[in-house]
Amino acid sequence: MRIERLGLHHKEVLAPLLRAITVPISEYCFANLYLFRESHGYEVLSDGDIFIKGRTYDGFTYLMPTVPPAQHDAARLQELLRDVDFLFPVPEEWLGAFDPGTYEISFHEGDADYLYTVEKMSTLAGRKLHKKRNLLKQFVESYKHEALPLTTARLDDARLVLDAWQQESGLGWGGTDYGPCREALDRYEELVLCGGITYADGEPAGFVLGEEVNDETYVLHFAKALKKFKGVYQFMFNNFAKILPPKYKFLNLEQDLDKENLRVFKTSYVPDALVKKARVRLRR
C-alpha cells in the first residue's frame, strides 16, 4: 500500500476519477479535497485501487472511495476498513452494495449537503423567501452595483474582500476557512475554479467561488462579502444562479458542519434536498 499526503500533483490521477462519480456530493471534487487537505489530514492510499484517507470534523478516521464501492473486491475493502472508523462519504445510491450483516450504516446531520434548484435561487419566488427578496431589493436600490465574472484580473479585489471578511469575523486565522479560500484564489486557474464578484458603489463587496460537481450540479465552496452592504449575499446567490449555464439544475451550498449559524443561514433558503452522506462501518 502506497501512502502519500494529498498534493497538487495528485490532480492528474484523482480529478478524472472524481469527475466520473456522478453523485452531487461536494467532497467528490478535487479542488475541495486539495483546499481542505490540512483540515482533514488527507492522504492518498493506492495499491491498484485508490482511496482518500481523512479525518472528519468530529474526529473520526475514514476512507473515501474514488469509485463506487460495488466495484471493489469485498474482502479487500473489509480489510482496509479495519484500520479506520468507517467509509465516508457514501451516497444513498451506493448503500445497496453493503450487506447489513457485515456493515452498520449511520448518518450525521452536519454532514449533509444543502441542495437548491437553480430556478429557486434565480427567482427567490414564494412566500417563504419573501425576506430574501426584500434584502435583494434593498441591495439593488441602495447601491450602484455591478456583478462581473471572477477573472484573474479581479482576484486581487476578491482578496481584499476576503481579508476584510476575516477581520470582521472577529475569529483567529484558524477559526475560519480563510486559509483554504485564500489558496483557492491563489490557485484559481490551476484548480479550474469559477466564480463571480460583486461591486457596490465602486467597491469590491463580495464574491462566490466554486466548480462543477456533476453535469447538472454546481457547488459553491466559498461565499464572502462585507457586512456593510446589506443584501449582498442575497444578490450574489441570485445573480450567480441567473448566469449559470442552462445545463445546471442544482446549486450545492455544502454542509453546515453542525454550526448553528450555518444551519440557520442555509435552511433560510429552503433547500430542495439534503444530500445525505452515509458513514459505513464494518461490524466488529
Q: What pLDDT score does 48 carry?
A: 85
Sole residue written with cell 443584501 = 231
Q: In what order do the strands lie in the sheet with 61-65?
A: 2-5, 43-46, 50-55, 61-65, 86-90, 278-282, 103-107
Give me the mean pLDDT over the 47-70 stretch: 95
Distance CA 15, CA 196 (A): 23
pLDDT tens digits for 204-263? Answer: 999 999 999 999 999 999 999 999 999 999 999 999 999 999 999 999 999 999 999 999
DSSP string, 86-101: EEEEE-GGGGGGS-TT
Distance CA 52, CA 36 (A): 13
Cα–Cα nearest to 234, from 140, 162, 166: 140
Rounded to whole angstroms, what are the CA distances from 45 to 9, 139, 262?
14, 48, 32
pLDDT tens digits for 30-41? Answer: 999 999 999 999
Pairing label, strands 2-5, 50-55: unpaired
Q: What pLDDT score does 186 carry?
A: 98
What value does the mean pLDDT of the chain take?
96
| 173 pLDDT higher than 90 | no
| 75 pLDDT higher than 90 | yes
Identify the band that residue 188 occupies on the pLDDT scale cut at 50, 70 and 90: very high
Cα–Cα nearest to 212, from 3, 31, 8, 44: 31
CB 87 within 8 A of CB 63: yes
Distance CA 84, CA 181 (A): 29
| 79 pLDDT higher than 90 | yes
pTM, to two decimals: 0.95
Question: What is the three-class DSSP state of 74?
Answer: helix
DSSP string, 125-147: -SGGGHHHHHHHHHHHHHS-EEE
CB 219 within 8 A of CB 23: no
Q: Which residues pair with 222 in a beta bridge?
A: 209
Which secondary-structure segment (H or E) carries 238?
helix 232-243
| 57 pLDDT higher than 90 | yes
Distance CA 193, CA 149 (A): 12
Q: What pLDDT score does 174 carry?
A: 83
Q: What pLDDT score does 83 carry?
A: 95
Q: What pLDDT score does 135 carry?
A: 98
- Strand extents, DSSP E, the chain: 2-5, 43-46, 50-55, 61-65, 86-90, 103-107, 113-117, 145-149, 194-200, 203-214, 217-225, 250-252, 273-275, 278-282
CB 121 within 8 A of CB 238: yes
The amino acid sitting at 251 is L
Give me the mean pLDDT over the 10-21 stretch: 96
| 1 pLDDT higher than 90 | no
- Percent over 90 (pLDDT), the chain: 96
